[in-house]
């Protein structure tokens, strides 16, 4: 099952709302709209990912406006250990898209791209890597 949430704008990884506002103050409405289009593209890709991973767990999409995250929780995990992986698409303070993955303690380098390089094909390829890494997670790690 896939759930899509809309929430108030979460602009950046900065710790405080005031800092997030400062970080994104110079970004134009055009940049924000183009990034919103990328989030919709990611949400479309997440539907396919959810179908592919339905045999092992749940995909959840959290949309905060200028930040979106795909979360993976395996069916066999419970409680605070249920979140195994996250795939984030963030708007940077320089007006680029940052793709960040985390599978338990494994954090590949962040990929920062111009908007025109964030294509459906690139997102699909990165989500397939995310899927593979989540599927390869040993069962003991998912519940540990």
Contact at 8 Å (CB) between 86 and 70? Answer: yes
**What burial letters (b/e) apply to 45-64, b meaning 16+ CB within 10 Å?**
bbeebbeebeebbbbbbbbb
pLDDT of residue 80: 57
Q: Are strands 2-6 and 97-103 parallel, antiparallel or unpaired?
A: unpaired
5 pLDDT higher than 50:
no
Map out the domains of the chain as residue ranges: 2-143
Interhelix angle 120-136/29-53, rounded to 10 degrees, is: 40
Tens-digit pLDDT profile for residues 73-116:
888 766 656 788 999 998 888 889 999 999 888 888 889 999 99
Give every CB contact of residue 61 below 8 A, 6+ residues apart in sequence.
2, 3, 4, 5, 42, 43, 46, 68, 69, 70, 71
pLDDT of residue 40: 95
Write down the pTM of the prediction.
0.78
């Amino acid at each position: 099952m896939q759930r899509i949430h809309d929430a108030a704008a979460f602009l950046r990884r900065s710790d405080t709302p005031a800092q997030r506002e400062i970080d994104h103050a110079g970004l134009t409405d055009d940049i924000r709209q183009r990034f919103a289009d990328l989030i919709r593209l990611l949400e479309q890709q997440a539907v396919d990912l959810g179908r592919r991973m339905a045999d092992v767990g749940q995909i959840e999409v959290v949309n905060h406006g200028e930040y979106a995250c795909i979360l993976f929780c395996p069916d066999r995990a419970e409680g605070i250990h249920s979140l195994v992986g996250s795939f984030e698409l963030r708007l940077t303070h320089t007006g680029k898209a940052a793709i960040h993955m985390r599978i338990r303690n494994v954090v590949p380098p962040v990929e920062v791209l111009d908007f025109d390089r964030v294509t459906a094909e690139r997102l699909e390829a990165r989500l397939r890597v995310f899927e593979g890494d989540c599927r390869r997670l040993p069962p003991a790690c998912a519940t540990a």
